[in-house]
Every structure is written in structure tokens, then in C-alpha cells.
Amino acid sequence: MHLDVVSLRLLADVARLGSIGAAGRAAGMSQQSASERLRALERDVGAGLLARSPRGARLSPTGRLVVEWSTGLLEEVTALEGALQSLREDRSRELRVWASLTIAETVLPGLLVRARRELPGRLALHTANSDAVAAAVRDGGADLGFVEGPVDRGGLSARDVGEDELVVVASPEDPWAGRRAALGPATLAGRPLTVRERGSGTRRVWEQALLAAGTPGAPPEVELDTTAALLASVAGGGPPGVVSRRAAAAALRVGTLVEVRTTGIDTRRTFTALWVGGATPPAGPAHDLVALVAAAGHSRIL
């Protein structure tokens, strides 16, 4: 037997209010709909639950038993509905955004300032590498994630929201800084470089680009957890590094780093929004934030 909580609540309301019509109004349905649901409940139970008359309806002995037995269940359902409503309200007040470091450092700060002006509720930003961002969204620790490059999208919905490019940078004193000719995949793969930690979207895109060019890279000489640390290490005389063009823009502009020209390797990548659910982000701030990014356009914001 399938328990119909709505019908059980209707039956209890008939006892409380004295008529099927009043019980239906309390449930937001017509008297006819309420009567049909109660008759279906009687068929499920296999006994009459109501004594009907022109003056109203009253419970039969079996009906009183059913109401008595279902009281605890209905109280628990009411409590659950209230808890779920509170959860929805809490989630609508704060949007938990996780973003990979490149996006968090070069894209989202200005965008979130605008979002805080235009969207309701609070926005909380947490940074991590792309794998950790995807895991947080999948596990419910984040409402919305932004990652760079390919990640495991199992259990996630996604939308591309921008584009980026990796560049090789070196200190002005590094031998590669003075090379006029662009460096090909074999040269790039043959030297241990400064890269981000494993799990980083930046590192994954670089390694896949070398593999696509037919030249797997040498093991890195330096691995760092943040883009800022990578830029500082390279500028301080460490091996050349691989980084987002956006992240390196200021250092390239003032000359503390030099871009190493490359050829024969495609280091373009996509910025992607991730969430759990249907083809569109959940209604509310998450949906609005993704729409804000998309409306801004790939070139203007991302």
C-alpha cells in the first residue's frame, strides 16, 4: 500500500474542521478534488473512513483509527517540510562559490563586486585547484564552481563561460628570454619547468598540450600551490614557468617576466561553471551569477 501523505492530512483536517470542503480549502484544493483523494484513500485502506451527510462529514471508527495512527507521521512530515524550507532560505541567502586559483585571482574579484551589488544574498568565495572545486560541487560543499580546463564532470552539469591561454614565462636573465625563435614542443618538453601542483587545471592543460604535440614533458623542477608563488619563483631566477596569460599580464607589462614565444603547441583552455542538477544552474543567485558571466561575454570579463 502506498501512503499518500496529502490524503492522510486531508482526513485529519476533516476531523478538525468538520467538512470535506473546509479540509480542501486548507489544503489549497477544490472540494471535488479533496473528495476524490479521500475516496481513493478509502479504496487503499479497504474500508469507509467518513460518514458523509448534507451537513458535513465525520470520521467512521476506522477513520478515527487511521487519523490516530497517522498523527505522528504527519507531525514528522510537517517538521521535515519546515526544515527543508529553512534550508532553501539559508541557501538563498548565501551562495557558496568555489573557484580555481587563476579564475579566483584574475576574473572573479571584480565580477563578484558587481554581483554583490546586483544579486540578493551573500556570496562566499573559496579558492582551490580545479579538481578540488569539482569535488566540492559534487559533494555539496559548493553551490557553484568555476574551473579552468578539463576536469571530471561526473555527476555535474556544466556551461562554458570564458577562454584563457597559457604562456611560458621566464626571468629576463634566463637563456630562454633572449631566444628570438619560437620554441617548439621538443624544446619545451625537454627542460624541467616551474609548474602548479598536481590537480591544477593549469598543469593539466599544459601536460595535455605537450602530449597532443607528441612530446610528454620532463618532470617539473619546481611545483607550487599558487599562481603568485609561481610568478615570484620565476621572477627570482627559477626555471621558466607555465601560467595563465591573465595572471602574468602585470609582470609582463613591467618587465619582471618575459614571455617565451612558443610554436606547435595549443595552450588555449576554457573556463567552465559547474553545478549539480539540470541543464541550467539552480534558480536563485547561482543561476543569476552564471547568467551575469555569460552576458558579460568571453572577451570582456573572462
Question: pLDDT (tens digit, 0 to 9) for every residue of the chain, 302 residues total?
Answer: 566 888 888 888 888 888 888 888 988 889 898 889 889 888 888 888 888 888 878 889 998 998 898 888 888 888 887 767 666 665 556 889 999 988 888 877 777 777 777 777 778 899 999 999 999 999 999 999 999 888 888 899 999 988 889 999 999 999 999 898 999 999 999 999 999 999 898 999 999 999 999 999 999 999 999 999 999 999 999 999 999 998 999 999 999 999 999 999 999 998 999 999 888 888 778 888 888 777 654 544 34
Q: CA triplet 38, 40, 44: central angle to 5 degrees?
A: 115
The three grid cell numbers given for residue 261, joined into one nine-digit string: 614565444
277 and 256 in one domain?
no
Q: What are phi and psi of 60, to 5 degrees?
A: -75, 170
CB distance 265 to 185 below 8 Å: yes
Residue 140's CB: how many other CB atoms inside 10 A?
9
Mark whether 113 and 138 lie in a shared domain. Answer: yes
pTM: 0.63
In a domain, 301, yes or no: no
**CA 80: distance to chain centroid?**
25
Domain finish residue from 91, 124, 139? 91
Q: Which residues pair with 273 in a beta bridge?
A: 146, 159
**CA–CA separation, 83 and 37 (whole Å):** 26
DSSP letters spanning 42-73? HHHHTS--EEEETTEEEE-HHHHHHHHHHHHH
The span from the CA of 95 to the CA of 123, in Å, is: 5
> Which structural domain range is residue 120 located in?
98-162+272-296
CB atoms within 10 A of CB 261: 13
Answer yes or no: is 302 within a domain. Answer: no
Bridge partners (DSSP) of residue 51 are 58
pLDDT at 300: 43
Bridge pairing between strands 122-128 and 94-100:
parallel
Is 263 found in the same domain as 200?
Answer: yes
SS3 171: coil
Surface-to-core class of residue 117, CB atoms within 10 Å of its CB (0-12 exposed, 13-18 middle, 19+ buried): exposed
Determine, yes or no, domain membership for 188.
yes
| Same domain assignment for residues 67 and 196 | no
Q: Are 196 and 203 in contact (CB under 8 A)?
A: yes
Report angle CA 37, 42, 44 to the nearest 5 degrees: 95
Domains of the chain: total: 3
- Give the CATH number for residue 39: 1.10.10.10
Rounded Cα gap, residues 202 and 168, in angstroms? 12
End of a domain among 91, 115, 148? Answer: 91
Cα separation, 116 vs 285, in Å, equals: 10
Q: Are residues 25 and 69 in the same domain?
A: yes
Q: What is residue 163's predicted lDDT score, i.e. its pLDDT? A: 86
Question: Residue 282 maps to which CATH number?
Answer: 3.40.190.10
- Asked if the structure places residue 263 within a domain, the reply is yes
Q: How far apart are the first and last CA of the chain?
A: 55
Place of cell 504527519: 74
Query: Rounded CA gap, 86 and 148, in Å?
Result: 33
Same domain, 220 and 255: yes
User: How many residues appear in the chain?
Assistant: 302
Contact (Cβ atoms closer than 8 angstroms) between residue 34 and residue 21: yes
What integer pLDDT is reported at residue 297 of this predicted model?
A: 44
For cell 536563485, name the residue.
284
> What is the distance between the alpha carbons of residues 148 and 286, in angstroms, rounded to a whole number?
18
Q: Residue 185 falls within a domain, yes or no?
A: yes
**Is 275 within 8 Å of 156 (Cβ atoms)?**
yes
